[in-house]
Chain A
Amino acid sequence: MLTPSTEDDLARMVAGAEGPLRILGGGTRPVGAVVNGTPLSTRGLAGVELYEPGALTLVAKAGTPLADVETALAAEGQRLAFEPMDHRGLLGTQGTPTIGGVVAANISGPRRIQVGAARDFLLGVRFVDGRGQVIRNGGRVMKNVTGYDLVKLMAGSHGTLGVLTEVALKVLPDAQAAATLRCRGLDDAQAVQALCRALASPYEVSGAAHLQKGAGDRPETLIRLEGFPDSVAYRAEALQKALGGVGVFEVETDPDATRAAWDGVRDVGPFHGRGGDVWRLSVKPTDAPGLVARLDGVEALYDWGGGLVWLLAPEDRGPAIRQAVSDTGGHATQVRGGGAGAFQPLAPAVAALQDALRHKFDPRGILNPGRMGRAA
Chain B
Amino acid sequence: MEMPAPDPTVLARKDALIARFKEVLPKDAVISDPVETRAYECDALTAYKCPPLAVVLPSSTQEVAAALRICHEMQVPVVPRGAGTSLAGGALPSGDSVILGVARLTEVLETDFDNRFVRVQAGRTNLSVTQAVEEEGFFYAPDPSSQLACAIAGNIAMNSGGAHCLKYGVTTNNLLGVTMVLMDGTVIELGGPHLDAEGLDLLGLVCGSEGQLGVVTEATLRILHKPEGARPVLIGFDSNEVAGQCVSDIIKAGILPVAIEFMDRPCIRATEAFAGAGYPDCEALLIVEVEGSDAEIDAQLETISRIAQQHDPVELRQSASEEESARIWLGRKSAFGAMGQINDYMCLDGTIPVSQLPFVLRRIGEMSADYGLEVANVFHAGDGNMHPLILFNANTPGELERCEALGADILKLCVEAGGCLTGEHGVGVEKRDLMSDQYAPADLEIQMAVKDVFDPAWLLNPAKVFPLDISRAHRDRAA
CB-defined interface of B227-238 with A at 8 Å, one 1/0 digit per residue?
110000000000
Q: Which of A108-129 contact B (CB under 8 A)?
A: 108, 112-113, 116-117, 119-120, 129
Say whether A4 faces chain B, with CB atoms less than 8 Å apart.
no
Q: How far is the CA of A140 from the CA of B415 in the complex (A)?
A: 11
CB-defined interface of A218-257 with B at 8 Å, one 1/0 digit per residue?
0000000000101100100000000000000000000000
Q: How far is the CA of A230 from the CA of B297 in the complex (A)?
A: 11
CB-defined interface of B435-473 with A at 8 Å, one 1/0 digit per residue?
100111011101101111110000000000100000000
Query: Do A148 and B196 contact each other (CB < 8 Å), given the known contacts A202-B226, A202-B227, A356-B453?
Result: no
Inter-chain contact count A-B, CB under 8 Å?
Answer: 259
Among residues of A, the one whose C-beta sits closest to the C-beta of B354 is: A55
What 5 A-B pairs have minimum CB-CB distances, sorted nearest first? A152-B204, A54-B248, A143-B423, A331-B198, A173-B254
Q: How far is the CA of A172 from the CA of B248 in the complex (A)?
A: 13
Docked-complex contact A116 and B292, CB < 8 angstroms: no
Docked-complex contact B200 and A161, CB < 8 angstroms: yes
Selected from B194, B201, B251, B296, the residue in CB contact (under 8 A) with A156 is B201
Q: How far is the CA of A353 from the CA of B209 in the complex (A)?
A: 15
Say whether B98 faces chain A, with CB atoms less than 8 Å apart.
no
Selected from B116, B254, B385, the residue in CB contact (under 8 A) with A176 is B254
Docked-complex contact A139 and B418, CB < 8 angstroms: yes
Q: How far is the CA of A375 from the CA of B149 in the complex (A)?
A: 45
Docked-complex contact A140 and B353, CB < 8 angstroms: yes
Docked-complex contact B442 and A134, CB < 8 angstroms: yes
Q: How far is the CA of A232 from the CA of B382 in the complex (A)?
A: 24
Residues on B with C-beta less than 8 A from A172 are 256
Residues on A with C-beta less than 8 A from B226 are 202
Docked-complex contact A360 and B200, CB < 8 angstroms: no
Among residues of B, the one whose C-beta sits closest to the C-beta of A197 is: B114
Say whether A141 faces chain B, with CB atoms less than 8 Å apart.
yes
Q: How far is the CA of A41 from the CA of B49 in the complex (A)?
A: 53
Say whether B299 faces chain A, with CB atoms less than 8 Å apart.
yes
Among residues of A, the one whose C-beta sits closest to the C-beta of B186 is: A349
* Chain A residues within 8 Å of chain B by Cβ, number: 83
Docked-complex contact B194 and A282, CB < 8 angstroms: yes
Say whether B280 faces chain A, with CB atoms less than 8 Å apart.
no
Docked-complex contact A150 and B450, CB < 8 angstroms: yes
Docked-complex contact A202 and B225, CB < 8 angstroms: yes
Residues on B with C-beta less than 8 A from A120 are 169, 172-173
Q: How far is the CA of A329 from the CA of B110 in the complex (A)?
A: 16
Residues on A with C-beta less than 8 A from B384 are 55, 141-143
Query: Do A53 and B252 contact each other (CB < 8 Å), given the known contacts A141-B418, A147-B439?
Result: yes
For the complex formed, measure the closest distance between the CB of B262 and the CB atoms of chain A, giving whole angstroms.
14
For the complex formed, measure the closest distance between the CB of B197 and the CB atoms of chain A, giving whole angstroms.
6
Q: Which of B158-209 contact A (CB under 8 A)?
A: 158-159, 161, 165-166, 169-170, 172-173, 182, 186, 188-190, 192-205, 207-209
CB-defined interface of A351-376 with B at 8 Å, one 1/0 digit per residue?
10110110011000000000011000
The size bracket of the interface on B is: 35 or more
Say whether B420 faces chain A, with CB atoms less than 8 Å apart.
yes
15 further contact pairs, Cβ within 8 A, besides A151-B204, A156-B197? A139-B418, A143-B161, A143-B385, A144-B420, A146-B431, A150-B446, A172-B256, A230-B299, A231-B293, A234-B296, A282-B198, A308-B195, A350-B189, A356-B453, A372-B199
What are 27 A-to-B residue pairs whose CB atoms are below 8 Å? A52-B354, A108-B196, A120-B169, A134-B442, A141-B384, A142-B351, A143-B165, A143-B385, A144-B351, A145-B208, A145-B422, A145-B425, A146-B435, A146-B439, A147-B427, A148-B450, A149-B159, A155-B201, A156-B196, A157-B200, A173-B256, A196-B115, A230-B299, A283-B194, A286-B114, A308-B195, A372-B200
Residues on A with C-beta less than 8 A from B248 are 54-55
Docked-complex contact B446 and A119, CB < 8 angstroms: no
Query: Do A200 and B197 contact each other (CB < 8 Å), given the known contacts A141-B352, A143-B351, A148-B205?
Result: no
Say whether A135 faces chain B, with CB atoms less than 8 Å apart.
yes
Residues on A close to B: CB < 8 A?
52-57, 76-77, 106, 108, 112-113, 116-117, 119-120, 129, 133-137, 139-153, 155-157, 160-161, 172-176, 193, 196, 199-202, 228, 230-231, 234, 282-286, 304, 307-308, 329-331, 343-344, 346-347, 349-351, 353-354, 356-357, 360-361, 372-373
Q: How far is the CA of A361 from the CA of B427 in the complex (A)?
A: 23
Say whether B341 faces chain A, with CB atoms less than 8 Å apart.
no
Say whether B101 faces chain A, with CB atoms less than 8 Å apart.
no
Docked-complex contact A146 and B421, CB < 8 angstroms: yes
Q: How far is the CA of A112 from the CA of B169 in the complex (A)?
A: 13
Say whether B380 faces chain A, with CB atoms less than 8 Å apart.
yes
Say whether B84 faces chain A, with CB atoms less than 8 Å apart.
no
Docked-complex contact B201 and A153, CB < 8 angstroms: yes
Among residues of B, the one whose C-beta sits closest to the C-beta of A332 is: B198
Residues on A with C-beta less than 8 A from B207 are 149, 152
Docked-complex contact A117 and B196, CB < 8 angstroms: yes
Residues on A with C-beta less than 8 A from B300 are 228
Residues on A with C-beta less than 8 A from B385 are 141-143
